[in-house]
């Protein structure tokens, strides 16, 4: 198969952008990505968005952004898979270019949480769960994650501060990322005193909902302009999987089958083993999700994922560096944009441009996006080309 490369990247700072609209945020990232790609013109636009119809009162986001970016006439569609929307949009862009039907694809992930405040945001987020059996009971994503975390801690005898390492690592890395929402490291005692959101989930165990947009320009290697000078990064593997929407319908609620299946497909496509992966950008909207992803992908045995964080193995110099630019916990969770931010950050790592957060000699990175509690999982392997 021909090499599908990331020709250009762009991202906005993640945060509360009260003064900017959904289209403004996306346009800023699009401009940067196309400029970084040497002016390549896309024929297709794939937009990852989760909640624009609920929060921004705006559907048909693909056409909206194509119009606003001056790309009228191109194919433009929105891809929705809850928190995995950005990863799913990236997969569609990758498949389009790899197939040969599209020469240059633009992938954008964008979300504008601050178009609504308070209970309206929780109500919107609850739409990612089973409406008839979960959301109707008042179940929010945070409450659901707290129940999972409590069960996990009971089953595997995890101490009260057992998940602290995930937040500590994320905030240490986020402090050195100029695009992150939170740029301050935290100490264990700060984690221990944090406000409880939904027992045992405290405020440092969940990512902040935030506004932001990230964009990628994809093309085939042979179509790069002669003036192209960026270090080459290709999408070497891609996989996706789905599971039951309702958590109670699963055989084992404490194991993310989709994380295992989607990562396995991507890794097999490349011909790698886990030892060949230099860093992992997991979907740490909640600390419990990060632990369960580490187990499902195979970096830890079941019930021991939290120990990788406790022992420092997910730090930049550890066994498997994770959340290398702050993850969703410190960078922020821009909904449907999250998966595209992961790809942009992984490309920065593989280009050798991560500065103080650089993972030494990084050649392969695994990124994984989740929709809800892994009802959807989309995984990609990104590779540096020498």
145-163 pLDDT tens trace: 999 999 999 999 999 999 9
For residue 2, what pLDDT band results from cuts at 50, 70 and 90?
confident
DSSP state of 239: E
State what percent of residues in the chain have pLDDT above 90.
98
- The widest CA-to-CA distance across the chain, in whole angstroms, is 58
Strands 104-111 and 44-48: what pairing? parallel
CA distance 15 to 18: 9
Same domain, 180 and 282: yes
Same domain, 40 and 88: yes
Within-domain flag for 125? no
Q: In what order do the strands lie in the sheet with 212-220?
A: 75-79, 44-48, 104-111, 212-220, 4-11, 232-242, 376-385, 364-371, 279-281
Same domain, 199 and 94: no
Within-domain flag for 94? yes
Q: Does residue 262 carry a pLDDT above 90?
A: yes
Within-domain flag for 126? no
Lowest mean pLDDT of 135-144, 163-172, 179-188, 266-275, name the range.
135-144
Contact 216, 343 (CB under 8 A): yes
Q: Does residue 123 carry a pLDDT above 90?
A: yes
pLDDT at 1: 64
Contact 305, 333 (CB under 8 A): no
Same domain, 214 and 266: no
Within-domain flag for 129? no
Q: What is the pLDDT of residues 180-204, one digit of tens each?
A: 999 999 999 999 999 999 999 999 9
Enclosing H/E stretch for 27: helix 22-36
Q: What is the pLDDT of residues 355-365, one digit of tens each?
A: 999 999 999 99
CA distance 257 to 269: 18
Same domain, 112 and 200: no
Q: For the chain, what percentages of helix, strand and coil (3-state, to nearest 5) are there?
A: 40, 20, 40
Same domain, 213 and 346: no
Q: What is the pLDDT of residues 319-330, one digit of tens each?
A: 999 999 999 999
Same domain, 13 and 96: yes
Lowest mean pLDDT of 30-44, 130-144, 263-277, name the range.
130-144
- Residue 295: name the closest of 312, 325, 274, 323 by CA: 274
Within-domain flag for 71? yes
Split into its structural domains, the chain has a count of 2
CATH assignment of the domain containing 84 = 3.40.47.10
Same domain, 38 and 169: no
Same domain, 151 and 255: yes
Within-domain flag for 124? no
Q: What is the pLDDT of residues 19-67, one digit of tens each?
A: 999 999 999 999 999 999 999 999 999 999 999 999 999 999 999 999 9
State what percent of residues in the chain have pLDDT above 70.
100
Within-domain flag for 127? no
CA distance 382 to 367: 8
The count of other CB atoms within 10 Å of the CB of residue 196 is: 11
pLDDT at 290: 98
Q: Give the domain extent around 61.
A: 4-118+209-232
Same domain, 84 and 196: no
Within-domain flag for 64? yes
Q: In the Cβ-directed half-sphere of 30, how many Cα atoms lie within 13 Å?
A: 26
Same domain, 48 and 197: no
Report the phi/psi class of residue 105: left, alpha or beta, with left for phi > 0 and alpha for psi in -120 to 50.
beta
């Amino acid at each position: 198969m021909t090499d599908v490369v990331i020709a250009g990247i762009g991202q906005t700072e993640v945060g509360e952008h009260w003064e900017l609209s959904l289209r403004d945020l996306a346009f800023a990232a699009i401009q940067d990505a196309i400029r970084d790609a040497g002016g390549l013109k896309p024929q297709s636009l794939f937009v990852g968005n989760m909640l624009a119809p609920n929060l921004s009162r705006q559907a048909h986001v693909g056409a909206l952004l194509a119009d606003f970016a001056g790309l009228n006439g191109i194919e433009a569609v929105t891809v929705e898979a809850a928190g995995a929307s950005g990863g799913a949009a990236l997969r569609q862009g990758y498949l389009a270019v790899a197939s040969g039907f599209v020469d240059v694809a633009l992938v954008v992930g964008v979300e504008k949480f601050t178009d609504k405040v308070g209970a309206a945001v929780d109500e919107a987020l609850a739409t990612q769960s089973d409406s008839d059996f979960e959301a109707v009971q008042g179940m929010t994503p945070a409450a659901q994650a707290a129940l999972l975390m409590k069960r996990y801690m009971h089953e595997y005898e995890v101490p009260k501060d057992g998940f602290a390492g995930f937040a500590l690592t994320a905030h240490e890395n986020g402090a050195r990322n100029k695009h992150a929402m939170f740029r301050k490291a935290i100490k264990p005692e700060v984690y221990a005193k944090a406000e409880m959101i939904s027992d045992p989930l405290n405020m440092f165990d969940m990512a902040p909902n935030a506004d932001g947009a990230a964009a990628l320009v994809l093309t085939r290697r042979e179509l790069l302009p002669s003036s192209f000078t960026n270090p080459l990064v290709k999408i070497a593997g891609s996989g996706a999987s789905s599971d039951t929407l309702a958590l109670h319908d699963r055989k084992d609620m404490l194991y993310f089958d989709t994380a295992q299946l989607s990562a396995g497909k991507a890794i097999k496509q490349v011909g790698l083993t886990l030892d060949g992966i230099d860093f992992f950008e997991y979907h740490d909207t909640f600390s419990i999700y990060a632990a369960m992803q580490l187990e499902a992908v195979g970096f830890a045995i079941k019930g021991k994922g939290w120990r990788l964080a406790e022992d420092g193995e997910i730090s930049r110099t550890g066994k498997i560096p994770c959340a290398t630019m702050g993850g969703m916990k410190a960078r922020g969770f821009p909904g449907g944009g999250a998966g595209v931010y992961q790809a942009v950050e992984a490309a920065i790592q593989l280009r050798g441009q991560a500065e103080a957060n650089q993972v030494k000699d990084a050649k392969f990175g695994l990124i994984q996006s989740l929709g809800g509690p892994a009802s959807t999982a989309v995984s990609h392997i990104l590779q540096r080309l020498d």
